[in-house]
Amino acid sequence: MSLPNTKIDRRSILTKGLTKTQHFDRERRVGDWRILDPKHSKLGAALMKGCQQFGITEGCSVLYLGASHGYTPSYVSDMVGAKGTVYCVEFAPQVARDLVFLCEDRENMIPVVADANQPDTYSDLITGVDVLFQDVSQRNQVEIFLKNLTLYVKPRGFGMLAVKARSIDVLKKPQDIFKEIRKEFESSDDFVIVDYRELQPFEKDHAFFVVKKK
């Protein structure tokens, strides 16, 4: 299952631009296609590392936790196309400002300024989603992921988690942290692990999990 509106070759990832505006300084284009820089996006890094299955389809809805300035979310919004929806959750107002401007340009993106650790606070803004993407640098990032996965993802929906080992525990070895998370995920009855990658050389001490809800 490949990603919609996306071209991938060995060197670069391109998504079909939904709008003509250039949103970011580092954003480059080839005609209508926008280049996704894997060094600035964990989704891009996972793609370059050979992840195949993401569960993102044309017109699906995505819950994106840790949207930040909206660099990766803007590419996800390209992928799901005009009929899809990307809910972008970001807590820090400093970066959420950029996100709101971005969402104004892109009609399929919805900004939510809320704490992903408290999913109940935005339950009246978000419906069930097909895909959950999480990239937050919090100590309890796994807990946040599981909370949102149970609450918002439809059955047979996908969840993607970019783990930053350094924000979980600086003293432990990243490998050990990834192993623990893997074990925790494998023991769950609600979902199965579909894919797992470590993101070197694009990101240091990061891993990427793709899970599918039963």
Using CB under 8 A as the criterion, which residues of the chain lie in contact with another protein when the complex forms? 61, 85, 87, 93, 96-97, 99-100, 103-104, 107, 110-114, 120, 123-128, 150-152, 154-155, 170-171, 190
* Shortest spacing between CB 116 and another protein, in angstroms: 14
Closer residue to another protein in complex, CB, 52/127 = 127
d(Cα 78, Cα 94) in Å, to the nearest integer? 24
Nearer to another protein, 52 or 155 (CB): 155
Distance CA 102, CA 71 (A): 9
Residue among 156, 130, 154 nearest 4 (CA): 130
Residue 67 or 207 having the CB closest to another protein: 67
Residue 67 CB, nearest approach to another protein (Å): 11
CB of 35 or CB of 113, closer to another protein: 113
Dihedral class, residue 154 (left if φ above 0, else alpha if ψ from -120 to 50, else beta):
beta
Distance CA 13, CA 114 (A): 30
Q: Find the shortest distance in angstroms from Cβ 99 to another protein.
A: 8
- 3-state DSSP call for residue 164? strand
